[in-house]
Amino acid sequence: MTLFEITDLTYRYDRQTAVEGLSLSVDEGSRVALVGANGSGKSTLLRILDGLYFGQEGAVRYRGQALTEERFADDAFAYGFRRQVGLVFQNPDVQLFNPTVFDEVAFGPLQLRWPKSEVRDRVGETLQRFGIAHLKDRVPHRLSGGEKKRVALASVLVLDPAVLLLDEPTAALDPRSQSQLIDLLVEWGGGAKSVITATHNLGDLGDIADRCVVLDSGRIAAEGAPAEILRDRELLERTNLVHAHRHRHRSGELHSHPHVHSGEAERSD
């Protein structure tokens, strides 16, 4: 069954076009990576899929229902959608606005009017699961970068959404935190949930997605399995996902050529 159906979508900020004539279909239960360089339109597309932005042209449908401003003016539709779809923002600071970590994680369930006893239980469980129970009385914006990211993720996953939208989930994290976060996401929902991840970190692709959509200047440049995309060196260079930089080999030879960073399916050396 189709989860999201995007048809000829165009979204413009004042003078800049972020998404242009984009058509895409995402199936239920699939794990899709939106891959692209900075400014390729990934974050904008995620916000459109979450019903926060609405395109000037084209259409977006969620489980057959059009996502429009008019639809979101209806409380029943808006609450239903928010119960099912969760978005984790790239910058955790924008997601942390409550006085304590506990309040932060409880914010979503309270807005969706869960019973208060259930909110307390679920928040407690989620804090334990994310290893942040010891931070529950701390002020969120005074936490470290990794802790903030965990709290931001917990504040969305506490809702147990059927669809998770992630914007650069591992950005600005140290390697250990990145690895822990990826493990959490892979384990989440027993792998049965729909996950759409925007990233330019090619190293995570094999773990977080079974389908890649490469974006370039707001358009789809390519689609395919992660391994297939990672093999296409010309595509990666053209879309600024790999770069050539100077480095020294064991033999002492110093040269530069297109270079894919750590953890990718195919490493060039």
Partner 1 sequence: MSLAGRHRQGGFLERTIEGLCQAMERAMYAEDSAAGGGLLQQLDARVKVAGLFALILATVLATRMWVIAGIFAVAVVLAAASRIPIGILASRAWLGALAFTGAIAVPALFLTPGVPVYRVPGLNWVVTAPGLTTASYLLLRVETAATLALTLVFTTPWMHELKALRVFRVPVVFVVILGMTSRYILLLLETAQEMFESRKSRGVGALDGTDRRRIAAASAGVLLSRTFQLSGDVYLAMQARGFRGEVYLLDEFNMRRLDWAALAGFAALAAAGVWAGR
Q: Which residues bind partner 1 (CB under 8 A)?
A: 47, 50, 52, 75, 78-79, 82-83, 86-87, 89, 91, 93-95, 97-99, 103, 106-108, 110-113, 116, 119-120, 139, 141, 155-156, 159
Q: How far is the CB of 158 from partner 1 (least distance, A)?
A: 9
Q: How far is the CB of 203 from partner 1 (least distance, A)?
A: 26
Sheet of 2-12, strand order = 17-27, 2-12, 57-62, 65-66
| Residue number, 108 or 218, with CB nearest to partner 1 | 108
| Residue number, 155 or 197, with CB nearest to partner 1 | 155
Q: How far is the CB of 111 from partner 1 (least distance, A)?
A: 3
Query: Could you give the angle at the alpha carbon of 42 between the alpha carbons of 90 and 215, nearest 5°?
Result: 145
Q: How far is the CB of 233 from partner 1 (least distance, A)?
A: 35
Q: How far is the CB of 112 from partner 1 (least distance, A)?
A: 5
| Residue number, 120 or 211, with CB nearest to partner 1 | 120
Which is it for strands 57-62 and 2-12: parallel, antiparallel or unpaired? Answer: antiparallel
| Residue number, 128 or 268, with CB nearest to partner 1 | 128
**Bridge partners of 243?**
259
Q: Which contiguous run of DSSP H or E holds residue 215? A: strand 211-216
Measured CA to CA, the distance from residue 170 to residue 166 in angstroms comes to 10
Residue type, 119: V
Q: DSSP for 199-214, please give it.
A: E--GGGHHHH-SEEEE
Measured CA to CA, the distance from residue 47 to residue 79 in angstroms comes to 17
| Residue number, 66 or 112, with CB nearest to partner 1 | 112
| Residue number, 73 or 254, with CB nearest to partner 1 | 73
Q: How far is the CB of 82 from partner 1 (least distance, A)?
A: 4
Q: Which contiguous run of DSSP H or E holds residue 42? A: helix 42-49
What is the gyration radius of the CA atoms in the chain, in angstroms? 19
| Residue number, 99 or 191, with CB nearest to partner 1 | 99
3-state helix, strand, coil in the chain (%, to 5): 40, 30, 35
Q: How far is the CB of 186 from partner 1 (least distance, A)?
A: 23
